[in-house]
Structure 1
Amino acid sequence: MVSRGYSSAFSAALACAGLTFCSLNGPAAEDVVLARADSLRQAGSEQPGLGNPVVQRLAENVYAITDLYHSAGARAGVNAGIVFTRNSVVFIDAGMTVASGQFLWDLASARIHGHEQVFLILTHHHADHVFGMRVFEDRRARVIAHHWLATELKDDRGFYKSFITRMMGWTSQQGDEILGDVVLSAPDQTIEGDYVLDLDGDELHLLYTPGHERDELVVYHPSSKTIFAGDALYEGMPPNTQFGGPAEWKSWIQHLERLKSLEIRTIVPGHGMLSSESLIDENISYLKGLLTATPGTTLQC
């Protein structure tokens, strides 16, 4: 059964959107992660490749980070997540730049004491979600992703960064200044479909949700009723469908439909503001409209 008691929390999220950091569950001053956010923002205010990150506490041990740097501009800002358990910390996505990855790590370090297991879950292989991964690998984080992501990244050798640099019309120096010293590699652990990561009795459900890309994962945290959607869900902009056609869009709809069976309080989309479960139907409606407008296709999924 889907939770309907979300409106007050969602309103609080909207009220917080223009702030450096805020909490949906109590005063920010009581939270060491939120306290760290402000100092990091001030220290990195002139740093290329950081963006204008906003940190929000969704539950006692769950954080959303929105508006990290994106080469397409502030309206396309990248989102990420952090979940703490008793002896572990899990990062969901790494941002588009090394500066973004470093911000996420430094943010969490307020609660990292050296004995924790560290995980990085990558929702898919696109640059804006993986280019910061070296920060976590340098600290021996265990990287988990779908096996198709491994196929995309295993032999990168700097090609992807060069491609983005050329696409943006940057010089090599500009690419280095903005993106940082990007190093991509295959994950430590790959999955084929849905997977449950059990950490100290707290579960994260990695749900295979292809459509935007064939390696797309959604991360669901049942304890806080939070979905970290990657690019399976978009807020404030239409879903990016350029990497597939009608067959992929139908698959996308099918996999979004099953998310509706989850109990959801907060959705952290890959881009855009925090949202509620209604975002799922909004994205499904857009994809169905696209299918209807495409000659020779039907809505049957």
Structure 2
Amino acid sequence: MNVRIDHGITTGAFELDGGTWEVDNNIWVLGNDEECVIIDAPHDAQKIADIAADRKVVGILLTHAHSDHVDAVFDLQEWVDGPIYLHPDDKPVWELTHPGRTWDEDLADGMTIEVAGQSLHVLHTPGHSPGACSFYVPGMATVFTGDTLFEGGPGATGRSFSNFDTIIESITDKLLALPEETVVRTGHGGSTTIGDEAPQRQEWIDRGS
């Protein structure tokens, strides 16, 4: 069966540092008619499960543990019965939303996850949060960056557990090193490419310094 990327959007709250913001989150599901992975679990478990349909879920891969990316993850797991993956460096962020509970499998830089004949390469890209990860799929020329890299620049670093210099280093060393044609599929908003974002790096640094 041909591999594909399905997309949806959910809406809900992002809570951190005493603030609450209404946000739209992208849902990404990569796989074929038999199996898939789900990237992030924002807000609406049933809507995400509907995109996965009746396929075997190899994993629910969390780009990071901010509430708007993990708040529906246990409800989703009841629907799809797939293991939850998170980088352990995001444990303090995770515990803000799911205190006393844990995920199933640790993500680590350099590991690969196989689904539908494709290899997802885990890139540890901290900065937006300590355990933020991106998932690069060379066979489909795409990378799922969560909130690390957006169209027009890096993710926010003005809140707890974040660091601007670290996110710039992650983007420079891990993401901008990918082929220019690589499509960047983000946690919020539209997609972009590595080739479109790379020339703006110095502008981001100047803006953030």
Normalising TM by the smaller chain, what interval? 0.7 to 0.9
Partner of 2:51: 107
Structure 1 counterpart SS, 2:140: coil
Q: 1:147 to 1:283 in 2, by over 3 A?
A: farther
Alignment of 1:280 with 2:197, yes or no, is yes
* Cα separation, 1, equivalents of 2:100 and 2:194: 33
Partner of 2:206: 289
Aligned length: 198
TM-score by length of 2: 0.80
Does the CA-based 8 Å contact 1:84-1:90 persist in structure 2?
Answer: yes
Partner of 2:97: 160
* Cα separation, 2, equivalents of 1:283 and 1:91: 30
Higher relative helix content: 1
* Cα separation, 2, equivalents of 1:60 and 1:192: 24
Alignment of 1:149 with 2:65, yes or no, is no
Alignment of 1:81 with 2:24, yes or no, is no
* Cα separation, 2, equivalents of 1:236 and 1:195: 28
Q: 1:152 to 1:249 in 2, by over 3 A?
A: closer
Aligned-partner residue type, residue 215 of structure 1 = G
Does the CA-based 8 Å contact 2:31-2:116 persist in structure 1?
Answer: no
Cα deviation for residue 226 of structure 1 reads 1.3
Does the CA-based 8 Å contact 1:61-1:83 persist in structure 2?
Answer: yes
Structure 1 counterpart SS, 2:49: helix
Alignment of 1:252 with 2:167, yes or no, is yes
Alignment of 1:63 with 2:19, yes or no, is no
Q: 1:249 to 1:194 in 2, by over 3 A?
A: farther
Higher relative strand content: 2
Aligned-partner residue type, residue 119 of structure 1 = G
TM-score by length of 1: 0.57
Does the CA-based 8 Å contact 1:151-1:186 persist in structure 2?
Answer: no
Larger radius of gyration: 1
Partner of 1:126: 66
Q: 1:223 to 1:185 in 2, by over 3 A?
A: farther
* Cα separation, 1, equivalents of 2:152 and 2:207: 17
Write the deviation string for residues 2-48 of structure 1: whole angstroms up to 9, x where unpaired: xxxxxxxxxxxxxxxxxxxxxxxxxxxxxxxxxxxxxxxxxxxxxxx
Cα deviation for residue 70 of structure 1 reads 3.5
Structure 2 segments unaligned to the other structure (5+ residues): 14-20
Does the CA-based 8 Å contact 1:196-1:206 persist in structure 2?
Answer: yes
Does the CA-based 8 Å contact 2:3-2:116 persist in structure 1?
Answer: no
* Cα separation, 1, equivalents of 2:45 and 2:200: 28
Counting aligned pairs with the same residue, the percent is: 22
Cα deviation for residue 214 of structure 1 reads 0.5
Q: 1:207 to 1:199 in 2, by over 3 A?
A: same
Cα deviation for residue 250 of structure 1 reads 2.0
Aligned-partner residue type, residue 88 of structure 1 = E
Structure 1 counterpart SS, 2:97: helix
* Cα separation, 2, equivalents of 1:230 and 1:283: 19
Aligned-partner residue type, residue 194 of structure 2 = E
Does the CA-based 8 Å contact 1:229-1:270 persist in structure 2?
Answer: yes
